[in-house]
Structure 1
Amino acid sequence: MSQTSASAAPRTLTFHKMVGAGNDFVVVDARTEPFTPDPALVRRLADRREGVGCDQLLVIGPAPDPDTAFSYRIWNADGGEVEQCGNGARCLALLWGTELSPGRAEFRMHSAGGVVAARLRDGHAAVAMGVPDFEPGRIPLRAAAAAARYELEAAGRSVRFGAVSMGNPHAVLVLDELGFGAVATAPVTTLGPAIESHPDFPRRVNVGFAEVRDRSHVALRVWERGCGETQACGTGACAAVAVLRDAGRVDSRVNVDLPGGRLVVEWQGRGTPAWLSGPSRKAFEGSIEL
């Protein structure tokens, strides 16, 4: 499995299929034989007709240091590599702690977005997604200075949003601040792609549409860069809570309802990590002819 392109890929690829709150992943364990797919191969694996079907491909690699259990890389369905994925991290933690290295209840995982702490309780995985970073240059967002809200022109209208990095870039639209109603009718498929590729976000951006129902309950839909709208987005849930709590609108523990299910985000405030928990499971294990 030590291949670097689709043309040199192994004939048969073994994988785990994982699901977290409706967000689905193809996971390849490449700790002993490195596997670095090219974009075409990622797109084929992600294809729901010709491949396995997934929102993201996750590849497990060896730990870079003794303080972490393993490393992982993430590719979106469009073939682009990204820094972080909250639901993917939860699924990897569950797979690691229950199957690949059972018996460890707490461990750390290394990703391009930073080191992620994980803990398993009663068959469920929670992960610390790092400290939300509001500095524009590190999101990255082109802006003169940090602000609670920014504005840009997208899809023919002026849009006001909060922005934060969860190891990957997020723009959060708070629906009642924009005069929109419930999240079910939010213009996700029009504003989402327009903001995702806006030049103010040089590495593109994930776009969250958040409806505040009360101080401990948020409804959310997310347009993910490279994927479109997905059933759930763990870093998107953390980003929404960070933007809302920083504005004083929610408490430190928030239920975030997404189309694929409920996630729980705990965040005490600036300078502290956001913890993410929710449902995850292994759907099946298989192989695909390449």
Structure 2
Amino acid sequence: MKFVKMQGAGNDYVYVDCFKEKVKNPSEIAIKVSDRHFGVGSDGLILICPSDIADVKMDMYNADGSRGLMCGNGARCVAKYAYDHGYVKSENFTMETCAGIKYIKVEPKNGKAEYINVNMGKAVITSEFPEKILINGEEKEFIGVDIGNPHAVYYVDSLEKLHNMDLNRVGEYYEKHERFPQKVNSEFIYIKDRKNIYMRVWERGSGETLACGTGACASAFATIKKGDCDTSVRVHLLGGDLDISLENDEIYMRGKAEYVFTGEINF
């Protein structure tokens, strides 16, 4: 199987061009290629596919083999690949995902996609504002957000506390809490000012990742609705920055996507 590894803000996936390749048992393959010791090493597997209802289709699987509904960083990488390889013919095109059709705008440089803008659609608050739950015996407050997949946004009061969180120890308590029967993506946010927030994320099915596009959108949306930031905000993640804006209740995400390497693997 030929593949390309790509990353958006450090959120890395193995991508397969299914215009040319056929992938059987993608859940099993996702587990194998994601292993950072015995596989390629990634946050999951994403298939770049033809679509009957859009210009291109994204089919994603988390590192544990579970199917993902949406991945913002993955969508940017799929958009870059499709544009750079001529599968789409315009700087504006559509992408089919399990969370619906997404609208893409590419900002090219020297004939290749440099920045990619994704209209992520509308988000919905899914909790009380805020809601309190017990995590490992400690009371925590979160704001629930659905943006095609479920998120719980938690706030910390200093950048030091954010950096010092031991997510490897406590992340699964958040992900698998009984409040979230389908599990949940958990974002931890420090608000620096009205234009900048800092974020770490524990993704369901993958653990802590360097970035999460839908998580950045959910966190920005929750913070805007709290009245604590402007309608355009930069989200600083471990792997890089994303610009998120809210316009007419639609969430827009802008950032880069980059190739890491190509390869071929046998199963």
| TM-score, reference length from structure 2 | 0.92
1:133 matches 2:124: yes
1:26 matches 2:14: yes
- Poorly superposed stretches of 4+, deviation over 2 Å: 31-41, 100-103, 179-182, 186-192
1:46 matches 2:27: no
Which has the larger share of strand?
2
- For the residues of structure 2 that align with 1:32 and 1:283, how far apart are their CA atoms? 20
Instruction: Give 3-state SS (helix, strand or coil) of 2:260's partner.
Output: strand
Instruction: Give 3-state SS (helix, strand or coil) of 2:202's partner.
Output: strand
Contact 2:119 2:250 in 1 (8 A): yes
- Against the structure 1 CA distance between its residues 102 and 71, is the aligned structure 2 distance closer, same or farther, given a 3 Å change threshold? closer
- For the residues of structure 1 that align with 2:191 and 2:104, how far apart are their CA atoms? 28
- For the residues of structure 1 that align with 2:159 and 2:241, how far apart are their CA atoms? 22
- CA offset at residue 185 of structure 1? 1.8
Which residue in 2 is equivalent to 1:83?
Answer: 69
Which residue in 2 is equivalent to 1:160?
Answer: 141
Contact 2:34 2:45 in 1 (8 A): yes
- CA offset at residue 187 of structure 1? 4.4
Instruction: Give 3-state SS (helix, strand or coil) of 2:133's partner.
Output: strand
1:254 matches 2:233: yes
- The root-mean-square deviation of aligned C-alpha atoms, in Å, is 1.8
- Against the structure 1 CA distance between its residues 48 and 191, is the aligned structure 2 distance closer, same or farther, given a 3 Å change threshold? closer
- For the residues of structure 1 that align with 2:146 and 2:86, how far apart are their CA atoms? 30
Contact 2:156 2:188 in 1 (8 A): yes
Moved more, 97-106 or 70-79: 97-106
Unpaired segments ≥5 residues, structure 1 = 1-12, 137-145
Contact 1:175 1:181 in 2 (8 A): no
- For the residues of structure 1 that align with 2:205 and 2:187, how far apart are their CA atoms? 14
Q: What do residues 133-192 of structure 1 show as CA deviations (whole Å, max 9, x unaligned)?
A: 22x3xxxxxxxxx5221111111111110010111110000113xx89542123433442
- CA offset at residue 33 of structure 1? 5.4
- CA offset at residue 21 of structure 1? 0.8
- For the residues of structure 2 that align with 1:47 and 1:211, how far apart are their CA atoms? 31
The letter for the 1-side match of 2:36 is: R
Contact 1:218 1:255 in 2 (8 A): yes
Paired-residue identity, %: 34
Match of 1:240 among 197, 219, 225: 219
Counterparts of 1:196-275 in structure 2 under 5 Å? Answer: 196-268=175-247, 272-275=249-252
